[in-house]
Amino acid sequence: MHGLSVSFLNMSDQTPERAPLHVIRHPLQGYSESVLEQEMIVTALLNKQAKDTMIFTEHLPVYTLGTSAGSADVISREVDGEKIDVCKTGRGGEATYHGPGQLVCYVIVDISNEQDLHRHVWRLEEMIIRTLADFGIEAERNKRGIGVWVGGKKIAAVGVRCCKWVTFHGIALNINPNMRHFQGIITCGMADRPVVSMQGLGVDAEREAVEAKILVHADELFGASPDL
């Protein structure tokens, strides 16, 4: 997941007071099913019938093609004998992989008061940077592209879409996915596929523990305690 090409390194965390984030958790979910769920929440938010929402999920193995991706970004739909689906999607960016062991955080929020998508993306990155710090991993932004990086390798990819200033899609953090699956695509437009996971950095973390830290930092950055 990779979208939007500008990151702001020195933004303030100050945000207008928000209602609590509504949190949804799925153990495993098909990608198309997830997009449909997000679109339903976007519609509800636009009609003032839903709260700002964070969805935690993992996906069945899938390559997703953002608005800047082309068919050439998919090298192979089969890795180690396992066939991987390919889905086009309306988020920004190029090609990425989702699969079990990768925690996806979809943040569906109304930013009409700010109308600043760059700031929203900065918050998504910052949320993961602070979370990784809690696990002893020093992460950062990188001039190669949007997302979260460790030692020149991407550990979390960002891709967002905005509809009338309601944002959706979000950020995907590699906890312990099958990293060989990234070999089937030109990841985020980078032929050298510089990707890494928490496990690959020697950190064994349970999804529940990572979620708990993310929610703490979502509170700090999005300005409201999660509605659990």
Asked if 188 is an active-site residue, the reply is yes
- Judge contact between 221 and 127, C-beta under 8 A: yes
Q: For the chain, what is the total number of helices (H) and then of strands (E)? A: 3, 12
C-alpha–C-alpha distance, residues 4 and 182, integer Å:
21
How long a stretch of residues is the chain?
A: 228
- Judge contact between 89 and 201, C-beta under 8 A: no
Mention every residue, 6+ apart, whose C-beta is less than 8 A from residue 78. 84, 184
> Pick the catalytic residue: 105, 162, 163, 188?
188
Active site (catalytic) residues: 188
